[in-house]
Structure 1
Amino acid sequence: MTRIDQLLAHAAQIDSPTAQLDAELLLAFVLEKPRSYLYTWPDKTVTEAQVAAFMTLLERRQRGEPVAYLLGRQGFWTLDLQVAKHTLIPRADTELLVESALQLADASSTLKVLDLGTGTGALALALASERPLWAVTGVDRIESAVALAQNNQRQLQLANVEFLSSHWFSALTAQRYDLIVSNPPYIADNDPHLQQGDVRFEPLSALVSGPDGLDDIRLIIAQAPSYLTANGWLLLEHGFDQASAVRELLQQAGFIDVSSQRDLSGHQRISLGRLPSLS
């Protein structure tokens, strides 16, 4: 019979920068137990069926498949979200968008907020969970992504957020928002990083945006003024080396108070600007 500690010791040798964590998450998933159980009961034996299931997941991870896709779940902000292969995996760096948006208005405000390219709904759901008085809308052009975000909403029981099918602003005629956030595709179509790590398994439509990675950002910045209220804010995630270009695009489109903010690694990861009032 195979024990928990034996499985973990074997699995920790896989070719992954987070091998130990990967093994713990996958084994806890197979056993339907929290990770703490693995170290509380290291000498517990595992059934042959559980060993087989664990080894299958481990082999898929060894080939590079992201743990989030293997588990079907990913943590973001304070939320546990369902993920699928047709959506981008929410990442910790994107939480900077949430932090920055929350700093623009306090909990007593009643803003209308739009999340463009919502995917799993991570940004929209995080903002809705922190600001119950905000009316949040998340849109995505992929119908299955909209369905996934709606399912996450139901699981989290958040009533102040809705998800719609829309290719950026296409289905939002005559609507205005106080705040627009987006983590759009921003990788150049020939970027070598597309052949490395987890992104090999993520949908290209959520990653790639033209020769310099800025095609979708250009479109969003150009069209956003027609959907923002006076003094409304636009916040965009972008590549680590794109901040200067994005700030210039924002300024050319008439945004003021333009700035960039740094992520956990010290890179300028998001840029934002305010649409001035007509007066």
Structure 2
Amino acid sequence: MRQTTIKQLLQQARERIDLLDAELIIAFVLKKTREFVIAHGECGVRKFASAQVCKLIRKRERGEPLAYLTGHKDFFGLDFAVNKSVLVPRPETEVLVESVIECLMTEDIGHRTILIDVGTGSGCIPIAITKSLHHHITSSLKIFAIDISKVALRIARLNAKKHGVKIKFLHGSLLTPLLKTCKLARPQTHALIITANLPYLTLKQYRQSASIKREPKNALVAGKTGLGLYEKLLKQIRSPISNIQYPISVFFEIDPSQSKPIVRLIEKYLPKAVVEIKKDLSGRDRVVETIYFA
């Protein structure tokens, strides 16, 4: 019996899912690159592999994220392991990463700096930041990553090991693990940077978006306004400020509709802070940068 070719699999798949997704699924099953799949359409595919391709195509057709099917997602030019316990890294979050890198590169702020990623998920934010910096900055950077999900932390540790990034992972809610140990008030620290891509969707937004319903709801939805967790985090940030004698920079990812409400919350809890809204590639408000000088 003749084997099905790559070209035939692609022809069958493109009637059901996006061609790019089909190419990536076939490449994943065959353990080849997408370029190989495109260039070798005449290659035969064994029956078992062909069945695997068809199975994954059916799942993708039903709305399963491609990253969950392959177990991988590219973010900021790096490959990250993902599963159903973590949010799939998105291009919009790269704006946050770029903003933090710019902050660290400006005025040589990297010396004796603490970087904390709250709700780290796959660990993509602190890992991407660290991999983009020069050694003289990263050598003076102490990185913490916190998540309430132990399963997510296992994925984050796997990604940190894969990319050779040294991160102290902590289990707990928001900044609680660090506040308990008073690790923020280190005498030799020059600056503190906090990043957070916390759940920020409302339940209504979640229900209206079919594309995200396969991802963990607790990584997407936060209360009636979507800003419940950010308000809790701002309260926590405010509490140790009296003991800190260095600048604090905070970077939040938000939904474009939340720029005004989040600014009001920041003004409430950090009244002396300077706030800047940064836009994503679509021109929509996406990242809130807050600088507080103690």
Q: Same fold, TM exceeding 0.5? A: yes
Give the conservation status (yes or no) of the 8 Å contact 2:97–2:125: yes
Per the TM alignment, residue 198 of structure 1 is displaced from its structure 2 partner at its CA by: 3.1
Give the conservation status (yes or no) of the 8 Å contact 1:137–1:163: yes
Structure 1 CA distance for aligned equivalents of residues 203 and 176 of structure 2: 24
- Render the CA deviation track for 1:59-115: whole Å, top value 9, x for unaligned: 000110000000000011121000010111110100111011111122852211000
Per the TM alignment, residue 195 of structure 1 is displaced from its structure 2 partner at its CA by: 4.9
Aligned to 1:172: 178
Give the conservation status (yes or no) of the 8 Å contact 2:23–2:38: no
Structure 2 CA distance for aligned equivalents of residues 129 and 117 of structure 1: 19
- Equivalence map 1:85-104=2 (5 Å): 85-104=84-103
Aligned to 1:251: 267
Give the secondary structure class of the aligned counterpart of 1:92: coil
Aligned to 2:35: 36
What one-letter code is carried by the residue in structure 2 that aligns with 1:205? N
Per the TM alignment, residue 38 of structure 1 is displaced from its structure 2 partner at its CA by: 1.1
TM-score (norm 1): 0.93
Give the secondary structure class of the aligned counterpart of 2:159: helix
Match of 2:227 among 207, 210, 214: 214
What one-letter code is carried by the residue in structure 1 that aligns with 2:175? F
- Equivalence map 1:256-271=2 (5 Å): 256-271=273-288
Give the conservation status (yes or no) of the 8 Å contact 2:122–2:159: yes
- Equivalence map 1:1-279=2 (5 Å): 1-14=3-16, 16=17, 19-106=18-105, 109-110=110-111, 111-131=113-133, 132-133=138-139, 134-159=141-166, 161-173=167-179, 174-176=182-184, 178-191=192-205, 193-227=206-240, 229=244, 230-253=246-269, 254-277=271-294
Give the conservation status (yes or no) of the 8 Å contact 1:12–1:23: yes
Question: How many residue pairs are counted as aligned between the two chains?
Answer: 272
Give the secondary structure class of the aligned counterpart of 2:255: coil
Are the structure 2 counterparts of residues 162 and 194 from structure 1 closer, same or farther at C-alpha, using a change threshold of 3 Å?
farther
% identical equivalent positions: 29
- Render the CA deviation track for 1:151-197: whole Å, top value 9, x for unaligned: 111111113x2211121011112122610000000111232x43533
Give the conservation status (yes or no) of the 8 Å contact 1:262–1:270: yes
Aligned to 2:188: none
TM-score (norm 2): 0.88
Give the secondary structure class of the aligned counterpart of 2:204: coil
- Render the CA deviation track for 1:7-38: whole Å, top value 9, x for unaligned: 11111111x4xx01110110000110000101
Give the conservation status (yes or no) of the 8 Å contact 1:30–1:54: yes
Structure 2 CA distance for aligned equivalents of residues 158 and 170 of structure 1: 23
- Gaps of at least 5 residues in structure 1 are none
RMSD of aligned alpha carbons: 1.5
- Gaps of at least 5 residues in structure 2 are 185-190
Structure 2 CA distance for aligned equivalents of residues 4 and 194 of structure 1: 37
